[in-house]
Amino acid sequence: MMKKTQNIFLIGPMGAGKTTVGRMLAKELKREFYDTDEVIESRTGVDIPWIFDVEGEEGFRQREMTVVDELTQKTGVVLATGGSVVIEVQNRTHLAARGLVIYLKTTVGQQLERTEKDKKRPLLLQATDREAVLRDIAVNYDELYREIADHVFVTDNRSIRAVVNDILSCV
């Protein structure tokens, strides 16, 4: 049986800092880093908004489940997941069973700031009221994030280094 700390999986809403924190954490731990969205884009040769446009959210979620299943079976990795990864029961099961799950939590205000100029977030690109979309996600996903999280760290107004140090203190 693999020890949970051999893999570290970062979950949380868009703009929480999963990719940025994950890259630094992997470097510190000398582990491979993966980002589910980046892997999907690399394999398909197109960006996430294009997948949403052509295959819809359901097509994207199928691709995401395949990638999560595959990457969580690796050993000694740091994985940053998409913000909605917790929607699918299969993803939550794989993440919880195959590694240490860190929930990076942030406020809607901080998310609005961090995603303001981002053109790669389909759920926000389609929205007329970005704040309402982010609030809805916060309300609907927080319980799912907490359900599988081993640790929760707030990233608002904190440096990447401070968040990485928090995570390092529990691995």
Q: Which residue has the higher pLDDT, 72 or 133?
A: 72
Under DSSP, the state recorded for 82 is P
Whole-angstrom Cα distance, residue 65 to residue 83? 13
Whether 120 contacts 134, CB under 8 Å: no
Q: What is the pLDDT of residue 150?
A: 96
Structure tokens at 99: 């590694």
Domains and CATH numbers, the chain: 4-168 (3.40.50.300)
Measured in residues, the chain has a length of 171
Q: What is the pLDDT of residues 10-42, one digit of tens each?
A: 999 988 899 999 999 999 999 999 999 999 999
Whether 157 contacts 110, CB under 8 Å: yes
Closest by CA to 148, choosing from 101, 85, 98, 88, is: 101
Q: What is the pLDDT of residue 4?
A: 52
Q: What is the pLDDT of residue 2?
A: 43
Q: What is the pLDDT of residue 79?
A: 98
Q: What is the pLDDT of residues 60-119, one digit of tens each?
A: 999 999 999 999 999 999 999 998 899 999 999 999 999 999 999 999 888 878 777 666
Q: List Cα–Cα distances, 167 to 16, 22, 98, 102, in angstroms.
A: 14, 10, 17, 8
Beta bridge partners of residue 103, listed in sequence order: 11, 152
